[in-house]
Amino acid sequence: MNRDDEALRALVTRVAQLEDLEEIRRLYIDYGRHLDAGDPGAYAALFAREAKLRLGPVMRADGRDEIERAAAKVIAASPDGPKGSVHLLGSPRIELGDDTASGECVWAAISWLPDGSPGVLVGRHVDQLVREDGHWRFARRIGHVDVGALR
């Protein structure tokens, strides 16, 4: 193999890694977007078929179907509908493997409390991701609350 072939192979590898990282970043963005839009089906589609979701006492589910049902309950529980809260997600730190990855990001959730004041929670998601059917999905997501309290 000559130098040009090696350089081309290295370039193809780097471009594929960048495409994977970009798809995973979009997954993180879509997580908050679908939740805030009140779309439990699109939200659940971000997860692998056998995913595990552990968001403290708010949402615990195993498998995409159960995740969709759990998300629908949380969204329905908001007195103002899906716009009763907004999720802000920080840029994720991603460690990429071939068909698996790990990631972590900081999040903030702002919602209206019963007295009309805003409530803020800040925490982080710790994730395992997997490429399933050619697309990156959350395989395991654990949510930690670092500031604030659930009411």
Could you tell me if 26 and 34 are in contact, meaning their C-beta atoms sit under 8 angstroms apart?
Answer: no
pTM for the full model?
Answer: 0.87
Q: Which long-range contacts does 14-18 make (Cβ < 8 Å, 24+ apart)? A: 17/96
- The residues, any chain, with a CB within 8 Å of residue 14's CB and separated by 6 or more, are none
Q: What distance in Å separates the CA atoms of residue 73 and residue 65, rounded to the nearest whole number? A: 13
Domains and their CATH numbers in the chain: 3-147 (3.10.450.50)
Give per-residue pLDDT as tens, 22-79: 999 999 999 989 988 889 999 999 999 999 999 987 899 999 999 999 999 887 655 5
